[in-house]
Amino acid sequence: MTRTEAMQNIFSNDDGIVREFREGLMHRIATREKLEQAEFFEKLVRSVIKPGEIDITNWNKDAVLVLLKICSESDEEYRIVNDGIMIRFVRYPQGAIFGRLADAIVSGELN
């Protein structure tokens, strides 16, 4: 099996063990100092998140930006939890304020 085929299998398989692996991988990548391979991370997040609460404690800004982008494109309701504080959006911002929002979430200014 090639690396590409293995990655496709990770994203297409939704059994419990594989899903847990993806979720753990998502959190490990999101808590690194710098987010690399943003396209892969976005695909990973899309394969893991479900409507409801998403704990982003210790995530970096780039990871939060990816999550906010995904949430803003969806009609589902997501509640972001950072350090035990829940943030719920009625409407997601657009444009330059998106980055400032991610900064505020990561720094704890919204807590």
The residue among 99, 105, 98 whose CA lies nearest residue 79 is 105
Our count of domains for the chain comes to 1
Average the pLDDT over 53-67 and give the result: 94
State the Cα torsion 16-105-100-69 to the nearest 10°.
20
| Domain assignment of residue 8, given as a range | 3-107
The residue among 58, 56, 5, 13 whose CA lies nearest residue 31 is 58
pLDDT at residue 45, as a whole number: 93
Q: Kindly state the tokens that stand for 5.
A: 């085929």
The residue among 48, 85, 83, 95 whose CA lies nearest residue 67 is 48
- pLDDT tops 80 at residue 9: no
Average the pLDDT over 30-41 and give the result: 86
